[in-house]
Amino acid sequence: SCRISSDGKPAKFQPPPKPVIVDKQKQREERRFLSPEFIPPRGRTDPLKFYMERKDMIQRRKVFNIPEFYVGHVLAVTTAEPSASEKSSRFVGICIQRAGKGLGATFTLRNVIEDQGVEICFELYNPRIQAIEVLKLEKRLDEHLLYLRDALPEYSSFDVNMKPVSHLDHDEIPVNKLQVRMKPKPWSKRWERPKYNIKGIKFELPEKKMKEAQKWSQPWLEFDMLREYDTSKLEEKIWKEVSEELKK
């Protein structure tokens, strides 16, 4: 039986509250990724040169898919090799650094194969590369992982026949806060020094050494105005240009 309010009349129908639909597709479009090699370096070069390079890069991207990847992702690259038996070779490894700007941009993959650490530097726009697959998506705490050369080999070894880990497009790329354990010193570089600003190493050095390393800190560097290079407006323009060209 219907409810009767204090007036005696039947209560007005109150519809249930509308559910809030969070459209994850729209949220994903807000996240833009512009590959770092599109951003021109600071210098007195004519912007026409960067424009010509960008045209070539976009042309290559239309034909060959270069996925979005960061330092710390595990990639598999197949290259055309004239001396190999099947005329192609596949290398799996973790991306330790992305260097270079423009067409000469490179990325280095590291893996440990039969107890031998191997690093191969590939050029992103080299026409001999036949496929780049992202096997595992994860960002790390640092911009480069060169310290993996002095870390225990288990952190650089990845299975060559690893299956790609599934990842949904709209999810944020997870950041792996792994702290890597190092081999005993001497290292190739003194990673504890503040100039490298490494956050992904578990330093098992005595307190005295860590304090001594802070002697080389340069706290004035972050306030140096001549070193500032604000790329936000450049990035916006280049992002618009690149996305419009790629949609065609």
Which residues of the chain form contacts with other proteins (CB under 8 A)?
A: 43-46, 48-49, 52-53, 56, 59-60, 63-64, 80-82, 87-88, 102-104, 123, 125-130
Whether 110 contacts 156, CB under 8 Å: yes
Residue placing its CB nearer to other proteins in the complex, 34 or 58: 58
Gap between the Cα atoms of 95 and 122, Å rounded: 10
- Please tell me whether the peptide bond between 186 and the residue prior to it is cis, using omega within 30 degrees of 0: yes
Residue placing its CB nearer to other proteins in the complex, 52 or 165: 52
Give whole-number Cα distances, 142 to 6, 62, 156, 165, 179, in Å: 67, 30, 15, 22, 11
Gap between the Cα atoms of 167 and 160, Å rounded: 19
Residue placing its CB nearer to other proteins in the complex, 56 or 212: 56
Cβ at position 17, least distance to other proteins in Å: 55
Gap between the Cα atoms of 156 and 151, Å rounded: 8
Residue placing its CB nearer to other proteins in the complex, 126 or 157: 126
Residue placing its CB nearer to other proteins in the complex, 80 or 160: 80
Cβ at position 197, least distance to other proteins in Å: 31
Gap between the Cα atoms of 96 and 72, Å rounded: 6
Cβ at position 134, least distance to other proteins in Å: 18
Q: Sign of dihedral through CA atoms 220, 226, 227, 229?
A: positive
Cβ at position 62, least distance to other proteins in Å: 8
Cβ at position 247, least distance to other proteins in Å: 17
The type of residue at 247 is K
